[in-house]
Amino acid sequence: MSTLTATKPTLLDWAKFLDPDGKAAVVAELLAQTNPILQDMVTVEANAPTFHRSSIRTGLPSATWRKLYKGVPVSKSTRAQVDDAIGMLHARSEIDKDLAELNGLTNQFRMDEASAFIESMNQTMATTLFYGDASTDPEKFTGLAPRYNSLSAGNAQNIIDAGGTGSDNTSIWLIGWGKQTIHGIFPKGSKAGLSQQDLGEIDCFDSDNNRYRGYAEIFNWKQGLVLKDWQYVVRICNIDVSNLVAESSAADLIKLMIKAQHRIKVPGLVNLSYYCNRTVAEMLDIQAQNKAAYTLTTGNDAFGRPVTMSRGIPIRACDAILSTEARIT
């Protein structure tokens, strides 16, 4: 029974769905998160059904100052090919037909339940964009953190150490979205984003494998991430959260963000955004008040959303970014 109530809506769930007058209640989504990275991310169709292959130039041909009657040696550029996998995120909803049809509020109850599935999918996808690691979880795609996780790696220039040494660290990400820099992918020949399929009324099965009629829906999202040029992402890591909140030996967020902005190769070629969690966004605003020559500004982004900006770059609060990151060394 515990498994059933954990995976299938019950009469108790239905009762919590209704107001005292028997009408559908407006549910307060206390578990909802804000993850605008899902809206900002540029997404393109992959060049293969299950992965995307990128050709990256790794070396330039040589040029020679030539003397009269002297030849020029032949040279060439070098390239590498990188494959990025696409993960398949799925969820399935099954509701007993008799439960769904109580009080004639079938559609409202199903829509309310579906909205919770969509929120769960959004949260899972945002978390994977930051922390997914196909080397340990092959069914996922690799996100940002595993690609920027060593201060001695080849891309260490774009990993800025904020000095935290404990286990309550977090990061600020500066990302330059673009088709030639970093972007999301969906399978060749398919559609981008989350899809929802209503299976209608079907035979469902209880724990004894006996049938009952129910309404079913499937949710799926096929997504990957391509980092074509590492010079368009900067990670400010090792931000000690407890020090930040206590304003004691806290990282100078504004100075670190200025450094990050100068690590982006050609800022004018991409759509730049900062991403941090709510705690960092709050403390950044507080620190900015103490900087006479540096203030944050507010405005609207391309979607008409109000947003705080640093030197014209939007600062997005993303709940998927943890405050419990291990120290990056």
Give the tens place of pLDDT for each residue, 182-205.
Answer: 999 999 998 888 899 999 999 999
User: What rounded mean pLDDT belongs to the chain?
Assistant: 87
| Angle made by CA atoms 117, 188, 198, in degrees to the nearest 5 | 30
DSSP 209: S
Run of H or E including 107:
helix 106-131
Least confident of 71-75, 81-85, 102-106, 163-167: 102-106
Q: Is the pLDDT of residue 72 over 80?
A: yes
Average pLDDT over residues 239-266: 95
Q: Is the pLDDT of residue 30 over 60?
A: no
pLDDT given for residue 93 in this prediction = 93
Average pLDDT over residues 305-323: 91
More reliable by pLDDT, 150 or 102 = 150
| Radius of gyration for the chain, computed over Cα atoms and rounded to the nearest angstrom | 25
Least confident of 24-33, 118-127, 178-187, 195-204: 24-33
Residue 92, number of CB atoms within 10 A of its CB: 13
Residue tagged 């494959």 (tokens): 83
Average pLDDT over residues 313-328: 95
pLDDT tens profile 79-119 = 888 899 999 999 999 999 998 888 777 888 888 888 889 99
| Coil/strand/helix, residue 232 | helix
pLDDT given for residue 105 in this prediction = 78
**Which positions ≥6 away from 195 have C-beta within 8 Å?**
219, 220, 221
Residue 173, number of CB atoms within 10 A of its CB: 23
More reliable by pLDDT, 2 or 309 = 309
Burial class (CB in 10 A: 0-12, 13-18, 19+), 244: buried
Cβ atoms of 219 and 90 within 8 Å: the answer is: yes
Average pLDDT over residues 279-306: 82
Least confident of 56-60, 112-116, 158-162, 186-190: 56-60
Residue tagged 């990025």 (tokens): 84
Q: Is the pLDDT of residue 21 over 80?
A: no
pLDDT given for residue 29 in this prediction = 40
Q: Is the pLDDT of residue 276 over 80?
A: yes
Average pLDDT over residues 248-269: 94
Residue 288, number of CB atoms within 10 A of its CB: 16
